[in-house]
Each structure stands twice: as structure tokens, then as C-alpha cells.
Structure 1
């Protein structure tokens, strides 16, 4: 089968599309003939985490397709079922933090940038009927991350004002859609005028320029909840826009891991700072229910073939996207 594999060299130099052996399902496993897959920033980070001495790995955490075969003992799905892949491995029920051994599909285990994927039957769920294959293959990691950050950690409700810095990523666009579905008022930021305009079309109540004065643009309004994924470049401003006693949830640091924090101002402000990562299988199923009940669709940016994988990686690296970058694998 065709697969995008990383091996022998660090970074993008180690990426190639080649033929590898297809794996048959063992007991409790299923093999999915993949229709589509989604690219995430994690796939870029893996290029510098997967060492030349490590075994070759197929990248990709998001995917959707049709069950082609099942191993012994599998009863929850059948051959021919249309499914989406839960990229989280080893985290079944919701908990304060991921359990020991929690991993994400695509490293160190083989992922979805291939014609077939063999995984535990517990890692697949029924594809939402209102999504086409292009949409179904790209949402899982981003939507699950957004769901846990907003609902489990952020305790969002309809009376809240939510601030989302750095609109444009897959997770950020789901944060916007989910927060609006919950009835919240949502403000977003971006350096890009085009991304701000798209966010307003998607339902944002206000979209401000990250490069200009946030206070002035927000007219003194402060947020009850900030969902921060940019990191060092925006963290201070994000915290400054949080009301006293408010909550900031962080799940990423695309623009720097290290910040300086004025502790005295922080504890006088009675702020809550919470970390969040992906989510459990229980939260994944809850997220699917939300997507289906509200008929939410992922915002699609571009779709490429597997042979065009370098174009997809380049678009994400340069932060050109608004929404999800996907790969079409089969029709």
C-alpha cells in the first residue's frame, strides 16, 4: 500500500511516499480502507521528534474510511461500516489528565497517511452522516482538542465571553464553532485581515488585529474564558484581556514554549490557568454527538492527494491555512 513514511533523516528530508506492507487485523483489531486524512501541526513536530535510529513510521492522526476486515472477537463494528478514527490511544474514560501510556496515532504507532490503517476496534466510531469523506477525515484531533479545552476544562456556558487568539488553525476554528454552538460571545484575533473576515463569516462576534492595541479594539471588554494555543507571542496579552477570576486554558505553544509570569498580579487577579491535551474516548463520543446535533462541519482549507503531501506540509508550516488541510486517499 502507498504511505507517507518518515525515516532515516530528521525533518522533512526524511519524508517520502512509498510502498509498504499492509497489515492484517489481529484479535480485537480492524483494518480501515482510508478515504481521507487530515494534517495537523503535530505531524510537523513529529519530524523533529522521530529519530533516524527509530523504526520507520507512517505519519497522520486523523482519518476516515470503510471497515475492510475485522479480527477475531470484534463485534462493535462490521465490514462495510463507514467510520472515523479516534487518534487518542489508551484513554477511555474522562479524567483529570491522560493516563500513563496515553499516545496519539501517527507516532510512535503508524498513522493515517496511507491507503489502509489497522487499529483497535475501540479506536473507530460511526462517521457522522452529514459529513462528506473530505470533511470526515480531517476533524478528529482538532475537534477533540477543542471540545476538551472548552467544555471539560473551560466549563463554557452561554453567558460567557470567550477570547480565541490566533484564529485560523483547525483547533481554533472548531473552538469558534463550538463556543457559538454553546451560545457564548466569541472574540478572535489574527494578524491576517483575510482570516479575521473569515472568522466573522463563521460567526465570531468580533475579530481584532493581533498587531494593534487589543484593549482599544476590545473597548475595555474582558473575557471570562481565554483559550490560548499561540504561546509566548500572545500569552501576556491574552492574560491581560481576562477578567479577574477568569480562566485561561492552554493546549499549545506554536509561537514559543517559555513565558514570564508576574505571580503577584496573577494571584491578586484570582486567575485560573489550566492545561489541556487532546481528550478521552468518552469525550470523543460526546464531541461527535455535538457535531451531529448541531450539524457542524469542519472548515476546509485545501485538500491534496498523498502524492502532493509536501504541498500540505508547506501550507501548514507557513500558517497560510484557515481551517483544515486534508489528503484525499481514495474515492
Structure 2
């Protein structure tokens, strides 16, 4: 089968498009013929170094994907060959204490597609049957693929971890990236007021068109002061961020007393100042989050269908042009998800 895979670590020169073996299917698994995948920041991390993530080269890239069931067990009750599905990228053991209590994303033997095992930038992938969920009617494969990482991550951050309420205000940093856009969409669908930031006025304008209530240019404005002004000196209930060190001081100063900061990334650095006095005097909460459980993906699917919410796809590249897709992601100029069409079916 054709796939995009890593032969080493460095730049795009270590990403090869070529033939890889068809993945075998064990009992209890399904083999999915992929039609689309989307790019995530971790794809760049795996290309650049993959440090701290156990993996073996060559490694097929890609965390999320959507396609059709190619092969399943004869007695599989929910999935049939030809069925359109999207994938949950995390494979849990099902037996550790975290899996047994339903928090499989904390599994002690967790494996993620494109990180610890072969990924989705390929014509086929094999996953446990429970990791393949029906694609909503009318959705493109690219939209389905995008849900499994960015929207799932945002859903867990806002709904499970931050416990966002409809009357609350959220500050979303770095609008334009997939997770931040998903956070905006979900927060607005939940009824919250949303303030977004970016260094790009064009992205801010597009975010306002998508429903953001206020936009702050972090290149020309002091974010914390702007937020305090927009909230009458109160601050926001929830800060939603995946930038890390560069925005941490503004994020902490933007929170109301007792507010919650939920984070899932550190693209600008992972060693911010703790600001401990502010943390304990104002009784702030800092909450880490990553991906989401199978149950959360099921709930997210139902929510999206009820609310008419779909991921924003900025651009789709053919698999053969994966280098161009990675460069586009690396530029930071995108507004929405960058997708790969596999077998020409975005």
C-alpha cells in the first residue's frame, strides 16, 4: 500500500511517500481503507525528533483518519465492510485501573496512531473495532478525520476538564489552529461568550464570522488588559490554550478569581513562570488535558450532529504532496485543518 512514512528525524527530507506492507488484522480488529487524514502539530514533532515517544523507524505518520471498513470479524455487530467510519487515534489496553474506570485516555499502556504505532497517512490502517465510529451522514471524510484529534481534545478540555457553563466567558488563545478553532466552535455551541486572540487580523476577522464575541490582536494589544476591559474588570472564567510559555503570564492575569486554565500544548515552550502567588491567592485552577476517551468521542459526535457543528477544513493536499502540507502547517498561517486526500477521496 502507499503511505507517507518517516525514515529518520529532521525536516521534510525524512518523510517518504512509498510502499509499505498491508497491515494484518487480528480478531477483534477492523482494517479501514482510509480516504482522508488531517495534519496535527505532533506530526511535525514526530518528524523533527519524536523525543520521548517510543517508536521505531520506518514509521507511518498520521494520528487521525476516516474511510471505509475494509475487513472485520464475521460476527462484528456494529461494523460492516464498506461502512463509512472515523477513527479514535488512541489504543488502550482495556485492563489497567484507568481503563476500568472509563478513563481510557489515561491508560498506562496507551498507544497513539502515528506516534507509538503505524498511522493514518496510508491507504489502510488496522485498529480495534471499538476505535472505529460511524461517520455522520453528509460529512466528508476530511471532516470526519478532523474530529478525532482536535475536536475531541477541545471537547475534553472544555466539557470534562473545565466544566464550562453556558453563562461563562472563555478566552481562546491562537485562533486559526485546529484545536483553538474547535474550542471556539464548541464553546459557542454550549452557549458561552468567547474572546479569541491572534497576531493576525485576518484570522481574527474570520473568527468573528464564526461566532467569536470579541477578538484581541496579541501583537498590538496587551491581552490581559484587553480581556479585563472586555469583562468589566472581572476576567474570564476559563482560559483555553495550547501555546504554553509565551502566553502564560497573560493567561493567568486574564482569569477571574477561582477561574480555570486548561492547557493541552506547549508549542512556544513548556517552562512558563508559575506565578504561584496569583495561583493561590486567587484560587486559580490549572488543568492539563490531552485527547479524549472513546466515550467522549461518542458524546462529541452526537453533540456535533445535534448542533450542526462541523470542523473547518482549510486546504486539502493529495498524499503525494505531504511535504507541502507539512510546510503549510509549519508556517502557522492556516485557518482550519489541513487535510490529506488518500486515493483522491477528501
Superposed, 1:25-36 pairs within 5 Å as 25-36=25-36
Counterparts in 2 of 1:53 and 1:95: CA distance versus 1, 3 Å: closer
Counterparts in 2 of 1:113 and 1:44: CA distance versus 1, 3 Å: same
What is the deviation of 1:52? 12
Counterparts in 2 of 1:94 and 1:239: CA distance versus 1, 3 Å: farther
Residue 206 (structure 1) aligns with: 214
Structure 1 stretch 193-202 or stretch 10-19: which is displaced more?
A: 10-19
**308, 314, 319: which one aligns with 1:295:** 308
Cα distance in 2, alignment partners of residues 266 and 202 from structure 1? 32
What is the deviation of 1:323? 0.8
Counterparts in 2 of 1:97 and 1:66: CA distance versus 1, 3 Å: closer
Q: 1:167-194: CA deviations, max 9, x gaps?
A: 1111111100000000000000000001
Residue 61 of structure 2 contacts residue 115 of structure 2 at CA under 8 Å; is this kept in 1? yes
What is the deviation of 1:10? 3.9
Residue 119 (structure 1) aligns with: 127
Residue 42 of structure 2 corresponds to residue 70 of structure 1 = no
SS at match of 1:137: helix
What is the deviation of 1:55? 3.1
Residue 197 of structure 2 corresponds to residue 189 of structure 1 = yes
Residue 327 of structure 2 corresponds to residue 314 of structure 1 = yes
Residue 148 of structure 2 corresponds to residue 140 of structure 1 = yes
Residue 84 of structure 1 contacts residue 136 of structure 1 at CA under 8 Å; is this kept in 2? yes
Counterparts in 2 of 1:96 and 1:186: CA distance versus 1, 3 Å: farther
Structure 1 stretch 47-56 or stretch 193-202: which is displaced more?
A: 47-56
What is the deviation of 1:261? 1.6
Residue 250 of structure 2 corresponds to residue 237 of structure 1 = yes
Cα root mean square deviation, aligned:
1.9
**80, 83, 101: which one aligns with 2:82:** 80
Counterparts in 2 of 1:55 and 1:97: CA distance versus 1, 3 Å: closer
Residue 9 of structure 1 contacts residue 52 of structure 1 at CA under 8 Å; is this kept in 2? no
Counterparts in 2 of 1:8 and 1:134: CA distance versus 1, 3 Å: closer
Cα distance in 2, alignment partners of residues 319 and 286 from structure 1? 30
**248, 265, 283: which one aligns with 1:252:** 265
SS at match of 1:46: helix
Residue 7 of structure 2 contacts residue 14 of structure 2 at CA under 8 Å; is this kept in 1? yes
What is the deviation of 1:166? 0.7
What is the deviation of 1:242? 0.4
What is the deviation of 1:108? 1.7
Number of corresponding residues: 331
Residue 267 (structure 1) aligns with: 280
Cα distance in 1, alignment partners of residues 16 and 39 from structure 2? 15
Q: Give unmatched runs, 5+ long, in structure 2.
A: none
Q: 1:87-129: CA deviations, max 9, x gaps?
A: 1111756439612011211122111101111111111000011
TM-score, reference length from structure 1: 0.95
Counterparts in 2 of 1:276 and 1:308: CA distance versus 1, 3 Å: same
